[in-house]
Amino acid sequence: MSPQVKDHFFEKYEKDYPFLLELPLYAIYIHFHRNDIHGHELHSSCESQIKNENAHTSEIRQVCKAVQTYLLQLDGLKDTFRLKDVSKTCEYLNYWIYDKIKHIKNSRDNIKNLYNTINPKSVHDLSDGCSNIKDFDISEDEFNRKKELFFHAENLYWIEKKYITIPTKYSSFYEKYLVKCAEYYNEIMLNTYCKNNDEYKLELKNFSTNFNN
């Protein structure tokens, strides 16, 4: 992974499970990370909608400008990875957005302004496919658990789509990864799910479906 491109999930798993870096989840998600280091449009609605008097203004504006750029790129990413629509790319962008702001605890007004400003309905052909971009409004720890569960589920989805049979060079990695995924799922079920039933319900359902496929 490039030293400029950092994501905790892939840093955590790439050494033990290198095949994950060949799946579309990594390629799409890291596209957002990689391009975030470049500048974005100076004059945009983000400047006027993200208020100066609130905390983390500059940080939230940068995320806002980046997302406005990425929304215009989602259709191209859909074509690159031969997806039927933009819902997957929007979902990954949704996680990227909150990952960038999860540590911000005292600027809810500007967080709300951020999501209002990046409303995908303003971008041609994205109103339906990007209905899954929303404010999670959960703690950083909860989000980290939710994201890891979601990423495991997505990796399982893409493994099933990409490989009719697992290449020999990856077979041992794959078997170990299945064990790791099952362990994480069980950890969430035992330690977290009963306390946060609604928060993890969809991710647990998708994980179970993809794991059993």
Whether 197 is in a domain gets the answer yes
Question: What pLDDT was estimated at residue 2?
Answer: 45
Instruction: For helices 140-162 and 24-35, give the axis angle rounded to 10 degrees.
Output: 130
φ/ψ bin of 51: left (φ > 0), alpha (ψ from -120 to 50), beta (otherwise): beta
Kindly report, residue by residue over 3-45, the tens digit of the pLDDT.
Answer: 455 789 999 998 999 999 999 999 999 999 876 655 555 567 8
Domain shared by 31 and 119, yes or no? yes
Kindly report, residue by residue over 89-132, the tens digit of the pLDDT.
Answer: 999 999 999 999 999 988 889 999 999 998 887 776 676 778 88
The pTM of this model reads 0.89
Alpha-carbon distance values, 47 to 54, 60, 101, 113, 119 (Å): 13, 10, 17, 11, 15
Q: Which residue has the tokens 């179970």?
A: 208
Domain shared by 128 and 66, yes or no? yes
Whether 4 is in a domain gets the answer no
Range of the domain at 97: 19-136
Domain count, the chain: 2
| Residues in Cβ contact with 190 at an 8 Å cutoff, skipping those fewer than 6 apart | none
Domain shared by 129 and 180, yes or no? no
Domain shared by 77 and 169, yes or no? no
Q: Which residue has the tokens 């319900």?
A: 201
Kindly report, residue by residue over 177-197, the tens digit of the pLDDT.
Answer: 999 999 999 988 887 655 666
Whether 54 is in a domain gets the answer yes
Domain shared by 74 and 146, yes or no? no
| Residues in Cβ contact with 62 at an 8 Å cutoff, skipping those fewer than 6 apart | 40
Domain shared by 25 and 127, yes or no? yes
Whether 9 is in a domain gets the answer no
Question: What pLDDT was estimated at residue 200?
Answer: 81
Instruction: Give CA–CA dist 152/182, Å, rounded.
Output: 10
Domain shared by 45 and 109, yes or no? yes
